Structure 1
Amino acid sequence: MEKLARSILAPILSVLEWISAILIFVMMVLTFADVVGRYLFKAPIFGAAEMIQFLLAMTIFAGLSLVNAHDDHITVELFEERIRQRIPRLHRFLIQGFSVVAMALIAWQLAEYAVEAQERNSVTVVLEWPLSIVAGAVAGFSFISLIAQLLGLALPDRREPGTPVEDGL
């Protein structure tokens, strides 16, 4: 099962790494061009702030798949040690189960929002782009993130509390 999960997960994560890198690069170039245009030529790029907002949302949700697959979340350990001490065998199941349910709810709500935006023909405020495109992309990335998280569960638990994060699968 672990080998199958790795063989499916590795190409997905590789593509998402590239997508994230491209989105961040486009965001950087757009920000740079907007600042240069604004301050040197008194001509900012129309709608740059809105485009950057959309790029940021897509970058976050594309990158979330990488975080979910590697179980590299930032954690606040308020209850984890107590759960680990009292029911050590259920610890990973409870933590990962909660995380999967939360990601499923996020993906579902984003998908509903994208469908609603499509039905209402909602557009963005400045550029008047169809909101369903951006919402749909974010919803798609969140579903991919959920799949990556589920595939990551088939991998062995790589870390004990307090140990550094390992790179790669």
Structure 2
Amino acid sequence: MMERSLTWVAAGLLAIVMVVGAVDVVAGEVFGAFLAFKVDMSGTLCAAAIFLAWPLVERRDEHIAVDLFDPITPAWLRGLRAWLALGAALVVFGLIARGMWGIALSSLAIRETSAATLGYPIWPAKIACALGASVVLVTLLFKAVARLRRGEGAA
């Protein structure tokens, strides 16, 4: 349920990016003045949207997977590969979540704003990235527990 809520927030952030982009094009064509903050805002909101949508993608296993050699790979080796991938994902997302929380909390402490002319706060987007990475980590832990309960050992 939490993953779905985070995905709705991600969709809202991407809608804002699309509206800002459309306003920028219209303002540029009609008035000859483009929005100075569009690139900054788009990058910040897209990063937050990616991290917020990632938990649902991970839970559903809808990420990109290369299965070129699956038909000729023995089942025991596919199982080992799955455990290695899950272990690597836990380590990587553990590091990402830890780093993102450090960045997010320091950004919050100084109430960091964009360098663009608008000066909008960017600390909420950094907290969103940290939250998304943390939920991915929890999702991966649940997947590992589920694999163990199903009896899918490492070999």
Which position in structure 2 is the counterpart of 1:166? Answer: none
Structure 1 counterpart of 2:33, from 14, 34, 43 = 43
Q: In the alignment, is the contact (CA less than 8 A) between 2:3 and 2:53 conserved in 1?
A: no
CA-CA distance at 1:115 after TM superposition:
2.4
Q: Note the 1:117-156 alignment, pairs <5 A.
A: 117-119=107-109, 122-126=112-116, 127-154=118-145
| TM-score, structure 2 normalization | 0.75
1:19/1:121 CA distance change after superposition, 3 Å: closer
1:121/1:12 CA distance change after superposition, 3 Å: closer
Say how many residue pairs are matched.
Answer: 146
Give me the whole-angstrom Cα distance separating, in 2, the residues matched to 1:152 and 1:16: 19
Structure 2 counterpart of 1:54, from 30, 39, 44 = 44
CA RMSD of aligned residues (A): 2.9
- Deviation string 1:136-159 (CA, Å, 9 cap, x unpaired) is 221112112222233344556xxx
- Deviation string 1:91-137 (CA, Å, 9 cap, x unpaired) is 32221111121111111111111223344554321133444332222
Q: In the alignment, is the contact (CA less than 8 A) between 2:17 and 2:45 conserved in 1?
A: yes
1:32/1:131 CA distance change after superposition, 3 Å: closer
Q: Note the 1:60-75 alignment, pairs <5 A.
A: 60-75=50-65
Identity of aligned residues (%): 26
| TM-score, structure 1 normalization | 0.70
Q: Does residue 17 of structure 2 align to residue 27 of structure 1? A: yes
List gaps (5 residues or longer) in structure 2. 148-155
Q: In the alignment, is the contact (CA less than 8 A) between 2:48 and 2:128 conserved in 1?
A: yes
CA-CA distance at 1:86 after TM superposition:
6.3
